[in-house]
């Protein structure tokens, strides 16, 4: 199947053919995890769950950056707003995520200077224009976002902007997949791997994890044909007992990934252990600033000390991110927790599983 134009990836006839093939080859009960929040939304938006055989269960995974941010980091972002002359900048999704006692939105409503930016470069420019203020950016994101954060820091370093810093809570995808595989009681028969993260990492980034766990894994894009194709491949691999790491998104993903973006990322950051909501501390799954860029590290610049707090009582985000529960199995879903009054981040983020269920299910 060689497609060229975006319309073709949304073609109803083609989708019907793929669904027929899926129905024909699917015999076993399988639990397939879409690792990425954008896939979760796309699957709902296109009604893909409703056309799959009953034996196929789709699980959401730890691929929504806001959702996997540890409670402690959310609390640290909130604490930063309380420091005199600090302007906290963030992407929109993060602002409503409840911390242990407050959220960035609550602090903004109470008078703190919290601003939504569309890119890190907006935050750097804000620092350029407000020399009497300290501008802090809440650095939350995966391999897709980390290179732009690194590029912003390089610009700030080059232009000697010393009133700008980043509180880093960056995450790397492959170590999270390995951590999932090591978690008891997890039942996953295949990974639908994230398209945009893989544009940066390349297929090779998953090879070690794949070779260690022999887990059927397919990289794919976000159009309905992309997703149906990935599901078909995963079912075929399972039915034939031939797990493989496949790239079903070759129009965007190469084996090596975006070498330049990775170079920039590795110039500024180095790998570190990182805390994830639900999954806990995962070795080598985060990125911290290298020594020469530590002047831009908000965690070092400001003495933000927040205790480790438990995740919101009754919230099952952690288990949902690990594929252990669905939003409907959370007692608070649609009762105490709604998009207007979210209890956990999975109901806040546009990529969150609970928000997707609420909106489309």
Q: Per-residue contact track with ligand SF4, 303 to 322, x per CB under 6 A?
A: ------------xxx--x--
Nearest distance, CB of residue 345 and ligand SF4, angstroms: 7
Nearest distance, CB of residue 82 and ligand SF4, angstroms: 25
- Determine contact, residues 37/63, Cβ cutoff 8 Å: yes
Nearest distance, CB of residue 140 and ligand SF4, angstroms: 17
Q: How far is CA 123 from CA 168, 266, 295, in A?
A: 14, 21, 16
Contact status: 356 vs ligand SF4 (CB under 6 A):
no
The three-state secondary structure class of 289 is: strand
Contact status: 32 vs ligand SF4 (CB under 6 A):
no
**Of 135 and 316, CB closest to ligand SF4:** 316
Nearest distance, CB of residue 195 and ligand SF4, angstroms: 25
Contact status: 276 vs ligand SF4 (CB under 6 A):
no
Contact status: 68 vs ligand SF4 (CB under 6 A):
no
Closest CA to 248 of 219, 271, 227: 219
**Of 58 and 320, CB closest to ligand SF4:** 320
Binding residue for ligand SF4 (CB under 6 A) from 178, 205, 322, 337?
A: 337
Nearest distance, CB of residue 106 and ligand SF4, angstroms: 17
The three-state secondary structure class of 35 is: coil
How crowded is the C-beta side of 292, counted as CA atoms within 13 Å? 10
Q: What DSSP line would sit under 139-197, residue for residue?
A: EEE-TTTHHHHHHHHHHHHHTT--SEEEEEEEE-HHHHHHHHHTSTT---SEEEE-HHH
Site for ligand SF4 (CB under 6 A): how many residues? Answer: 15
Contact status: 299 vs ligand SF4 (CB under 6 A):
no
**Number of continuous H segments (helices) and E segments (strands) in the chain:** 16, 11
Q: Which of the stretches 119-127, 161-169, 243-251, 343-351 binds ligand SF4 when contact is defined by CB under 6 A?
A: 343-351
Contact status: 33 vs ligand SF4 (CB under 6 A):
no
Query: Of residues 173-212, which lie at the interface with ligand SF4 (CB under 6 A)?
Result: none
Measured distance CA(267)–CA(151) in Å, rounded: 9
Q: Which helix (H) or strand (E) holds 260?
A: helix 259-268
Query: Of residues 76-135, which lie at the interface with ligand SF4 (CB under 6 A)?
Result: none
| DSSP tag of 94 | G
Tokens coding 105: 């939105």
Binding residue for ligand SF4 (CB under 6 A) from 167, 269, 293, 333?
A: 333
Residues that bind ligand SF4 (CB under 6 A): 315-317, 320, 327, 330, 332-333, 337, 342-344, 346-347, 354
């Amino acid at each position: 199947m060689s497609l060229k134009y975006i319309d073709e990836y949304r073609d109803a006839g083609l989708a019907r053919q793929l669904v027929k093939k899926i129905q024909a080859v699917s015999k076993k009960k399988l639990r397939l995890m879409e690792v990425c929040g954008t896939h979760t939304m796309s699957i709902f938006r296109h009604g893909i769950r409703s056309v799959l055989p009953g034996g196929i269960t789709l699980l959401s995974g730890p691929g929504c950056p806001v959702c996997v941010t540890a409670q402690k980091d959310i609390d640290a972002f909130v604490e930063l707003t309380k420091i005199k002359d600090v302007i906290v900048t963030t992407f929109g999704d993060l602002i409503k995520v409840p911390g242990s006692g407050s959220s960035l939105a609550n602090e903004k409503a109470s008078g703190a200077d919290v601003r939504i930016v569309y890119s890190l470069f907006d935050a750097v420019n804000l620092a350029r224009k407000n020399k009497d203020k300290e501008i802090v950016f809440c650095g939350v994101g995966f391999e897709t976002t980390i290179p732009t954060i690194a590029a912003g820091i390089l610009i700030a370093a080059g232009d000697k902007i010393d009133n700008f810093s980043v509180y880093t809570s960056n995450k790397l995808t492959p170590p999270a997949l390995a951590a999932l595989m090591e978690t008891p009681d997890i039942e996953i028969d295949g990974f639908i791997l994230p398209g945009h993260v893989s544009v940066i990492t390349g297929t090779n980034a998953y090879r070690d994890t794949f070779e260690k766990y022999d887990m059927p894994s397919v990289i794919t894009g976000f159009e309905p044909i992309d997703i149906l194709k990935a599901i078909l491949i995963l079912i075929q691999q399972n039915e034939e007992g031939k797990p493989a790491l496949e790239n079903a998104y070759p129009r965007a993903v190469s084996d090596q990934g975006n070498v330049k973006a990775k170079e920039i990322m590795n110039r500024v950051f180095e790998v570190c252990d990182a805390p994830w909501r639900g999954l806990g501390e995962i070795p080598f799954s985060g990125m911290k600033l290298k020594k020469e860029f530590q002047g831009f590290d908000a965690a070092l610049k400001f003495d933000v000390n927040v205790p480790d707090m438990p995740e919101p009582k009754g919230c099952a985000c952690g288990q949902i991110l690990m594929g252990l529960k669905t939003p409907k199995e959370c007692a608070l879903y649609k009762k105490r927790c709604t998009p207007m009054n979210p209890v956990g981040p999975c109901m806040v983020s546009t990529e969150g599983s609970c928000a997707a269920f609420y909106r489309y299910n």
